[in-house]
Amino acid sequence: MSLLFVIDGYNITNHRLFNSRPTRSKSPCFGLIQFIKSNRLLGSDKNKVILVFDGFLLKDDRQVQDSQFEIIYSGESSADAKIMKFIESSKNKPNLIVVSDDKEIVYFARVYAVKTQTVAEFIGQEKDENKKAMIKKAQESDDKLNYSQAHKINEELKKIWLR
C-alpha cells in the first residue's frame, strides 16, 4: 500500500531547516524534489507526492518532471485552499499525509481524519521514530481483516486443528 504526501511547498522551502542545507537549484520546486529524494524522506519509492505551491508556474520549474511527484500551482487561489479542497475530495484519506505548518490546514485535515506532519517532522529533525512508526502503521492498516474474513479463517483453522 502506498502513501500520498500532500506537501505545502513553500512551507518547506521557506523553513529554516530546509534553508540551512545547501541546494544547487534556482527553482524552489526542483530543489525541494532533490532534497526529498536525496534524504529519502518518503520512506518508499512507491509513495507519491503532490507539491502545492502558491501562485503560478515559474519559468525554472517548466522542466521539472518526475513520475513520483505531481506539482500543482494554486494560481489565483492560495495553496492552502488547494490543499483543503484536495483533502475534502480525496477518496483514500487513510493513505494521505499532509505536510504543513499552517494550523488551519492541520485542523482541517484532522477533521477528515487525515494524518499530518509538521515540516520539522517531515524533514526528520523531530522524532524520526514517530515518522517511521506513522508510515508503518498507515501501510499496515490495509492488512487488517474484516469480520467475515477472520471468521472464515477461524473456521478453516478449526477444521485443521480440532479434528
Residue range(s) defining the domain that contains residue 134: 4-161
Mean pLDDT score, 16-24? 68
Structural contact between residues 9 and 30, judged by C-beta atoms closer than 8 angstroms: no
Mean pLDDT score, 128-142? 59
Q: Output the pLDDT for position 96.
A: 95
The answer to whether residue 151 scores a pLDDT higher than 90 is no
Determine the Cα–Cα distance for residues 163 and 151; give it in Å rounded to an integer.
18
Determine the Cα–Cα distance for residues 3 and 38; give it in Å rounded to an integer.
19
Q: CA 42, 48, 51: angle at the middle one, nearest 5?
A: 90
Three cell numbers at 76? 489565483
Q: In terms of DSSP H, where are the helices of the chain?
A: 9-13, 16-19, 28-38, 79-89, 103-111, 119-123, 128-140, 147-161
Domain count, the chain: 1
Output the domain CATH number for residue 97.
3.40.50
Q: What are residue 5's phi and psi, to 5 degrees?
A: -90, 125
The reported pTM is 0.72
Least confident segment among 46-50, 95-99, 128-132: 128-132
